Homo-oligomer: A and B are copies of this chain.
Amino acid sequence: MNKLLGSIEEAVRACGLRDGMTISFHHHLRGGDYVLNLVMEAIAAQGIHDLTINASAIQDGHGPLGAHIRNKVVTGIEANFIGPVIGRVISEGHLERPVIFRTHGGRASDIDDGTSHIDVAFIAAPSADERGNCNGILGPSACGSLGYAMPDARHADKVVVITDNLMPYPLSPISISEADVDYVVRVDKIGDPAGIATGSTKLTRDPVALRIASQASRVIEASGLLRDGFSFQTGAGGASLAVAGMLTETMVAGKIHGSYALGGTTGYLVDMLEAGCFEKLLDVQCFDLKAIASLRENPRHVEISASQYAGPKSKSCAADGLDVVLLGATQIDTDFNVNVHTDSNGRIIGGSGGHSDVAACAKLTIIVAPLSRARLPIVVDHVLTTSTPGDTVDVLVTQAGVAVNPKRGDLIERLRAAKLPLVSIESLRELAERQCGVPRPAALSDRVVGRVLYRDGKVIDTIYGVQ
């Protein structure tokens, strides 16, 4: 048994990769990931074409993928998120087959039950041993949790672990087991540490974001859910993180002992854990160095798989029954439908990630968003793309007021009693339009460039190309 190969090229050959197959990647190295580019370069050099990439996310560091799309090395992409760089390539019609967008939970479940078959999974591993045991918490490219890669490792026909930190056998902790790994390749660097753990995790000083955060905190307090046993997920946007800071004060002052926070984790959730706001952090992905260090050192900070995070076909998942989630929006319409896939021109700039998963699972789903960004209204008549259906969204908090989904009469009463500035979502839409004007409709082509699958696998929307 010798799994340790000399290069990615060798691993590609050893796996028998050929035209038409599906390969997979995870995005825990975020903007700092080198592995997708290294693998695609090796594959392209071998003259292989017509591949489908199934990735938890395509990041803006994956620019070279554009050339592989144009050269038909890659003709299909399935992902939960696609950043603007490759999003533009797809929106302009260069990818042969429409992108399939899933959610983080949906992707995991589709891999788990065989709906998505993966021929070869390439797993960027911050630490690995020569037989493939690996984790994300040790090494110079530490990224924290490897949760999104776990379903791939379990089910792919072939699994290649790529690391820049080869450690003596047996490595522990074991996030992905040698039992599932075919080959191991050592490279100089799997990623840029600065890109792995930067991003939107600095606390905002923007007064609009702080005002939104303050109102969102009041909504949570007024909801009746902020009590012993409280569970919570927040995004990594400025307002969302500011809410975490405000909630910490409230919970500590009120001696409220929550149950767990779920993430996508940041240092702000770690602070809450350490302040006693929560018993546990369940972690499918780390956003910053403090979260990575905490996962390494604090036994109450627990790595979980994407299947356990939010898999709709899992027997249960951590998202089930969450009390409160805070989420962002690129657009939200007067039916509370949220778009996080396309910008107002119709270009692909993101994806659901776990957005629609946790919105569906939580007792209270709060969207925090300013009325407008770059003079474009965020509250609109109809979202260009439905990422998260409005019937799973309860509240929109903007700087100009709080709109509650009319189906949540109970919540309206509670928030009114707490004297929150309740407004109708239509009035927020009007205000946004008054401030920004009504933007020209996006100029779209007839070409379908993407399909958005809801977490249950059904097509919830179709994305057209831009002209």
* Copies of this polypeptide in the complex: 2
Is A383 part of the contact surface with B, judged by Cβ < 8 Å? Answer: no
Is A299 part of the contact surface with B, judged by Cβ < 8 Å? Answer: yes
Give Cα distance in the complex from A79 to B257, angstroms: 46
Is A204 part of the contact surface with B, judged by Cβ < 8 Å? Answer: no
Residues in B with CB closer than 8 Å to A308 are 174, 177-179
Q: Are A260 and B316 in contact (CB under 8 A)?
A: no
Q: Are B320 and A174 in contact (CB under 8 A)?
A: no
Give Cα distance in the complex from A1 to B316, angstroms: 8
Give Cα distance in the complex from A353 to B70, angstroms: 55
Interface hit among A165-173, A214-222, A267-275: A165-173
Q: Are B170 and A316 in contact (CB under 8 A)?
A: no
Give Cα distance in the complex from A131 to B315, angstroms: 9
Is A304 part of the contact surface with B, judged by Cβ < 8 Å? Answer: yes
Is A314 part of the contact surface with B, judged by Cβ < 8 Å? Answer: yes
From the candidates B181, B282, B314, B315, name the one contacting A316 in the complex (CB within 8 A): B181
From the candidates B173, B180, B302, name the one contacting A170 in the complex (CB within 8 A): B302
Is A159 part of the contact surface with B, judged by Cβ < 8 Å? Answer: yes
Q: Are A169 and B259 in contact (CB under 8 A)?
A: yes
Q: Which residue of B lies closest to A320 (CB)?
A: B1
Give Cα distance in the complex from A121 to B146, angstroms: 28
Is A186 part of the contact surface with B, judged by Cβ < 8 Å? Answer: no
For window 288-332 of chain A, which residues contact chain B by CB distance below 8 Å?
Answer: 299-300, 302, 304-305, 307-308, 311, 314-318, 320-321
Is A279 part of the contact surface with B, judged by Cβ < 8 Å? Answer: yes
Question: A residues touching B (Cβ–Cβ < 8 Å)?
Answer: 1, 3, 131-132, 159, 168-170, 172-174, 177-182, 259-260, 279-280, 282, 299-300, 302, 304-305, 307-308, 311, 314-318, 320-321
Beyond the given pairs A159-B315, A177-B304, 8 more chain A to chain B contacts, judged by CB atoms under 8 angstroms and listed by A's residue number, are: A1-B316, A172-B299, A172-B300, A177-B307, A177-B308, A178-B315, A179-B311, A179-B315
Between-chain CB contacts (< 8 Å), 21 pairs: A1-B320, A131-B320, A132-B315, A132-B316, A168-B279, A169-B260, A170-B279, A170-B302, A170-B318, A173-B299, A174-B302, A174-B304, A174-B308, A178-B318, A179-B307, A179-B308, A179-B314, A179-B315, A179-B316, A180-B315, A181-B315
The 10 closest A-B pairs by CB, nearest first: A179-B314, A179-B308, A172-B302, A179-B307, A178-B316, A131-B316, A177-B308, A170-B280, A170-B260, A182-B315
